[in-house]
Structure 1
Amino acid sequence: MVEHAETIALRALTWLVGNDELLPVFLGATGAGEDDLRARAAEPEFLASVLDFLLMDDAWVLSFCAAEGVPGETVMRARVGLPGGTGPHWT
């Protein structure tokens, strides 16, 4: 599942880099620089931050999923497979 999650996150990163309007928002929100996009693309934690960012807005998720031809729940499922993806269980 982790490999699938990383693949989805890399696809999301590629989509994000190609989005001239959203990329600066991601860079500003995360503090990442353009060099980080290449240097950290293989790090599961960085990929998790890409999906966390995307999940901040349903429109972004749906736009990515439409562009990639994947179901809407793909991003959330991939996020669970990366570090920090499981939320606290309050039981």
Structure 2
Amino acid sequence: MTLSDTNHAATLALRALAWTLGEPARAERFLALTGLSPDVLRASAGDPSTLAAAIGFLESHEPDLVACADAIGATPQDLAEARRRLDA
């Protein structure tokens, strides 16, 4: 994995995280399922494990994964690959 690949994965994941947090009910579900508090999320938003968790959250509910991918101009496969790179 190159730095460019890692940066691209992080960028996609940040966009996915922003999309996830853009709807209050989905944001609350994300926080509840991940156990993150808003303060911890703010402090760790750039951390690869937090970014991977954001995509993992979307992967656990395919309609959200597809909707997010469409909204950010990616494919569900792009997001899944980004999570794999961030988990590495």
Q: TM-score, normalised by structure 1?
A: 0.85
The structure with the greater share of residues assigned to helix is: 2
Report how far residue 57 of structure 1 moved. Answer: 1.1
Equivalent-residue separation in structure 1 for 2:9 and 2:49 (angstroms): 12
Structure 2 residue 56 is matched with structure 1 residue 52: yes
What is the TM-score of this pair, normalised by structure 2? Answer: 0.87
Task: Report whether the alignment pairs 1:82 with 2:86.
Answer: yes
Deviations 1:35-87 (A, max 9, x none): 12211011111111111111101101111011112223111111111125xxx
Which secondary structure state, in structure 2, belongs to the residue aligned with residue 73 of structure 1?
helix
The two structures, once aligned, show a CA RMSD in angstroms of: 1.2
**Distance in 1 separating the partners of 2:36 and 2:51:** 12
| 2:25 matches 1:21 | yes
Structure 2: state its 5+ residue gaps: none
Structure 1 counterpart of 2:38, which letter? E
Pair 1:36 & 2:40 matched: yes
Letter in 2 for 1:30: T
Q: What secondary structure is seen at the aligned counterpart in 2 of 1:70?
A: coil
* Largest Rg, 1 or 2: 1
Match of residue 9, structure 2, among 5, 15, 20: 5
Counterpart CA distance in 2 for 1:51 and 1:4 is 14
Q: Tell me the amino acid that sits aligned with residue 15 of structure 2.
A: R
How many matched pairs? 84
4+ residue runs over 2 A deviation: none
